[in-house]
Structures are given as structure tokens and as C-alpha cells.
Amino acid sequence: MKTTQEWVAEDLAHIWHPCSQMKDYESLPPIVIDHGKGSYLYDIDGKEYIDIVSSWWANLLGHCNPVISKAIEKQLEVLEHVIFANLSHKPAIRLCDELIKILPKGLTKFHFNDNGSGAVEAGLKMAFQYQHQIGQAQRTKFMCLTGSYHGETIGALSVGSLDLFAEMYQPMLMKSTIHIEAPDCYRCPYGLTRESCQCQCFEQAEKAFERDGHDTVAIIVEPLLQGSAGMRIYPALYLEKLRHLCDAYGVLLIADEIATGFGRTGKMFAFNHTQVSPDIMTVSKGLTGGYLPMSITITTQQIYDAFYADYLEHKAFVHSHTYAGNPLGCVAALAVQKIMREDKMLEKANKRALWLHETLEEAVGGHKHVGEIRHIGLINAIELVANRETKQPFDPSKRTGYAIYKRALDYGLLLRPLGDVLYFNAPLTTTKDTYRQAIERMQKAMKDVLG
Ligand SMILES: *Cc1c(COP(=O)(O)O)cnc(C)c1O
């Protein structure tokens, strides 16, 4: 039998881990996970970790959820995969039926894909081709918000705004993307607050549209919550204003709900906090409960119709991926919807959300290095700062968040922060007891690092 050291050595000999400086693994070797149950993971030595980040925000209803696992097992006996051009299958058809019931109004056409970045790529291409085919070929630019993250393929990076991911590749990216100053409610340059402002910062978008609105294809946003930027939360009013601005200029609105979809913000989708709908929406992550790689680019009848023509007119959307519409992913997604509905997941999650935020405020809200604890749905983000009064951040070279992450692992908590922003974004099924344990473990780690 191999020892843990041997497994780790073999891992390091061959595996190039995502989003990692591999040299860091010298002091923090990979944790080899054996199994998961609910909100917990267990390594090959039996040590327990609370998965408070839902394994990169994907795991929606706990690891090895019996309902989802059963659904996949059943489907495995029938059909594992099939080419999705010309051929179809019941799980995909059923899934569209289910999703139409919960999606913002007007989103009724589904283009399947196998990962989040891919869904964004498809959305950008779809928007571009739509504008071209309705006689708006002069539109070639895209807009996004600063701090945005939409994935890491070349197109997705081109509408992303985080240097960590994009800086190195600038020469490879679309040059024409317009980056609009995003709302920054913690350090609001207007001195206003998230709860009472009228989104004065929206003037940045207005200025950009005045200048470039007529040659812009689409604007893509992470609605309400800029995840990778550090769980930055902004008001729903911003999205409603943006919808009206897009309509005035003929610019399409793409909502990237890959992180916010399926109950993460307290409603099924972030756009459900508004009275309006996007033209294109991308979903992934929670879609299959974090079980299987699947994503969908969802759009309106109007956009779909602009591609509908005789074959020789060359108007089709030929974008395709081999694993599009994978039936195993579809049955997992169907099981997720069944649980959400039958177990009243949203209702329960929202009750727990109030409690969780209060409990976190009580536990660490007064800490001299906690700038704010912002929250939406069950997501809570703790922004660590050097100075609470001035909101001055820690020197990034100190890697404060990373140091707390390492200590938290020792205590059995998988916290993986975004820079110096610690956050909870656990499976919706996570119990109060587990949250209490997680808070305790986080406090110990914070104490070790921050005093
Ligand atoms: C995770 C994420 C993506 C990228 O999805 P992948 O499956 O990792 O390619 C895109 N947009 C948002 C908002 C995300 O959170």
C-alpha cells in the first residue's frame, strides 16, 4: 500500500494543478482527498475538512448527495453520451422545460456546452453574429466592468479585468474591449452606501455608452456579485439602469450567472432581484450540483430567430463542443432542480442566511483587521484590511489571506480566500452546526496569523 507521502510525491511528479504556483506546494503539499459527504471532505489519512467554498462554488447540495448520485447511476445504465447535432435525448429536453420555469422572463433557447468559459465564449460569439446578421456589422466592441471575471479562455479573458489572470496574455487578447469602472461599494468613491445610494457610479457606464455605445456588440456582467474580484456586491438597481441603457443603444446585455445562479444570492438567479431580463445568460457551476462539467448559454427567441435561415445563407451558429448536452450532466441538473423544489432549498437557505450573517458579525465583525463582512444569500465575504478606519489593505506581499488559508487547513477548514478576502460560499445544505464549526476553525486561524 502506498503511504500518503508516496501519493503526494507522485502527484507532484506529474500533476500541474490549476490556479497554483507549483513552488508553493513545497510548503503546502496537495491534500489527497479520499471521499466527500455533504459539506465535508476527508483526505486519505481520514482528516476532515469543511468545504466552505463548495469546491470552487460548484457544489450546491453537498458532496455525494444521494439523490443526484442515484440519478446519474440510473442514467449510466441507459445512455452515457451521444452526439448532440441532429440527435437529442429526454434528459436535455426535460431540463430545458424545468429551467424555463425558473429563469428570468424571455430566456427560452438553450445552447449547451461543457464549461463556464466555453459558455461565455459562445455568448460573445452569439452576440457578435446576431448584431452582424441584423445589419449592425459596425458593432465590433465589447464592454465589461473592472474587476470582472468571466473565465480563462482567450475570449473570456478579453472581457475579464483581473490582472492576475489576464495581464500576461494582453498581446493575445481583443484590444477593443471597454472596461467600465465597476461599483465599489466598500470603498465608494462617492462616499455613499450600498443600501441607500442611487448608483451614482452608473455615470461611468453612461459615459462609456455615449462614447462607444454605437459600435458595441454587448456588455457582459457578473450580476450583483463580482466573485473573483473578492465577492464585491453591488445593488440590483445598477442592473436595471444597465438594461435601459443597453436598450437605448441597441447593445446586448449578457449576464454571466455562472457563480450567482441556482440560489447563491438568495433567489434562483441574480437577475431575479430585478424586474428585467438579460438577452443572454450563462450558467454552469451549481447547474449540475458540482457533479459534472456542463454549462448553458441561454438566450431569447429574438436572438435565435436572427440565425434561422436557409442553409446556404450561412447564418447558423456553428459553435460546438464534443460533449455538448451530455446526458449525465442533464440528469444531474434535473436532480438538482428536483431537490431545490421539493426540499424548498431557497426558503431554508434564506432563513439560515440571516442567522449566518449575524453569527459571523458577532464572531469576527469587531476584529481590528476586518474591514467589512458583506453578504448576499448565504455568501459572506470578510475583507481583511491593515487598518479598519482608513480601509487600507494589507501589503499584498505579506500574503495574509494565504497564511490564514494554510492555518485553516490545519484546523480542518477549506477556506481558499480571494487575496485578503475570506469568504463562505458553502453548499446550500450546510447546517448551522457545520457553520459554527467552520467559524470556530476560521477564528483560530485568524488568531494565529493576525493576533
Ligand atoms: C467560474 C466562472 C467562470 C468560468 O467557468 P469555468 O467552468 O471555470 O471555465 C466564468 N464566469 C464566472 C462568473 C465564474 O464564476
pLDDT digits (tens, 9 = 90+) for 78-115: 999 999 999 999 999 999 999 999 999 999 999 999 99
DSSP secondary structure, 67-103, as one string? HHHHHHHHHHTT-S----SS---HHHHHHHHHHHHHS
- Residue 293 shares a structural domain with residue 405: no
Q: Compute, in angstroms, the gap from residue 190 CA to the centroid of ligand 1.
A: 30
Model pLDDT, residue 195: 85
Domain count of the fold of the chain: 2
Is the CB of 286 inside a 6 Å radius of any atom of ligand 1?
no
Model pLDDT, residue 164: 86
User: Taking 90 as the threshold, does the pLDDT of residue 362 lie above it?
Assistant: yes
- Residue 129 shares a structural domain with residue 119: yes
Q: Compute, in angstroms, the gap from residue 414 CA to the centroid of ligand 1.
A: 20
- Residue 90 shares a structural domain with residue 211: yes
Candidates 56, 117, 323: which one to mutate for ligand 1, based on the most atoms within 8 Å of Cβ?
117
Is the CB of 124 inside a 6 Å radius of any atom of ligand 1?
no
Is the CB of 297 inside a 6 Å radius of any atom of ligand 1?
no
Range of the domain at 400: 31-64+344-450
- Residue 337 shares a structural domain with residue 348: no
Confidence of residue 127 (pLDDT cuts 50, 70, 90): very high
Q: Characterize 117-154 residue by residue with b for buried, 16 or more Cβ atoms within 10 angstroms of its Cβ, and e for exposed.
A: bbbbbbbbbbbbbbbbbeebeebebbbbbebbbbbbee
User: Taking 90 as the threshold, does the pLDDT of residue 368 lie above it?
Assistant: yes
Nearest residue CA, atom 8 of ligand 1? 116
Candidates 145, 284, 418: which one to mutate for ligand 1, based on the most atoms within 8 Å of Cβ?
284
Q: Looking at the domain assignment, is residue 22 inside a domain?
A: no
- Residue 363 shares a structural domain with residue 402: yes
Q: Compute, in angstroms, the gap from residue 284 CA to the centroid of ligand 1.
A: 7
Spatial neighbors of 428 by CB under 8 A, at least 6 apart, are 60, 61, 263, 345, 348, 349, 378
Is the CB of 405 inside a 6 Å radius of any atom of ligand 1?
no
Q: Looking at the domain assignment, is residue 16 inside a domain?
A: no
Which atom from ligand 1 is nearest to the alpha carbon of 295?
7
User: Taking 90 as the threshold, does the pLDDT of residue 364 lie above it?
Assistant: yes
pLDDT tens for residues 287-309? Answer: 999 999 999 999 999 999 999 99
- Residue 389 shares a structural domain with residue 330: no
Is the CB of 256 inside a 6 Å radius of any atom of ligand 1?
yes
Is the CB of 420 inside a 6 Å radius of any atom of ligand 1?
no
Strands (E), 103-171: 109-113, 141-145
Mean pLDDT (whole number) for 263-271 = 98
Mean pLDDT (whole number) for 118-141 = 98
Is the CB of 121 inside a 6 Å radius of any atom of ligand 1?
no
Q: Compute, in angstroms, the gap from residue 444 CA to the centroid of ligand 1.
A: 31
Q: Compute, in angstroms, the gap from residue 32 CA to the centroid of ligand 1.
A: 24
- Mean model confidence pLDDT for the chain: 97
Is the CB of 288 inside a 6 Å radius of any atom of ligand 1?
no
Candidates 258, 262, 297: which one to mutate for ligand 1, based on the most atoms within 8 Å of Cβ?
258
pLDDT tens for residues 223-239? Answer: 999 999 999 999 999 99
Model pLDDT, residue 70: 98
Q: Looking at the domain assignment, is residue 186 inside a domain?
A: yes
By percentage, how much of the chain surpasses pLDDT 70? 100
Which atom from ligand 1 is nearest to the alpha carbon of 257?
13
- Residue 318 shares a structural domain with residue 184: yes
Candidates 59, 285, 288, 296: which one to mutate for ligand 1, based on the most atoms within 8 Å of Cβ?
285
Q: Looking at the domain assignment, is residue 17 inside a domain?
A: no
CB atoms within 10 A of CB 2: 11
Q: Compute, in angstroms, the gap from residue 287 CA to the centroid of ligand 1.
A: 12
pLDDT tens for residues 174-210? Answer: 999 999 999 999 999 999 998 889 999 999 999 999 9
Nearest residue CA, atom 11 of ligand 1? 150
**Coil, helix or strand for 219?**
strand
- Residue 100 shares a structural domain with residue 246: yes
More confident residue, 162 or 445: 445
DSSP 266: S
Model pLDDT, residue 162: 87
- Residue 391 shares a structural domain with residue 419: yes
Q: Compute, in angstroms, the gap from residue 164 CA to the centroid of ligand 1.
A: 15
Spatial neighbors of 140 by CB under 8 A, at least 6 apart, are 128, 176, 215, 217
Is the CB of 114 inside a 6 Å radius of any atom of ligand 1?
no
Nearest residue CA, atom 15 of ligand 1? 259
Give which of 285, 289, 294, 300 is closest to 325, Cα–Cα. Answer: 294
pLDDT tens for residues 307-348? Answer: 999 999 999 999 999 999 999 999 999 999 999 999 999 999
User: Taking 90 as the threshold, does the pLDDT of residue 166 lie above it?
Assistant: no
Q: Looking at the domain assignment, is residue 2 inside a domain?
A: no
Q: Which of 342, 357, 387 is the last residue of a domain?
A: 342
Grid coordinates representing 240? Answer: 436595471
Name the pTM for this structure: 0.98
- Residue 109 shares a structural domain with residue 166: yes
pLDDT tens for residues 201-220? Answer: 999 999 999 999 999 999 99
pLDDT tens for residues 17-44? Answer: 999 999 999 999 999 999 999 999 999 9
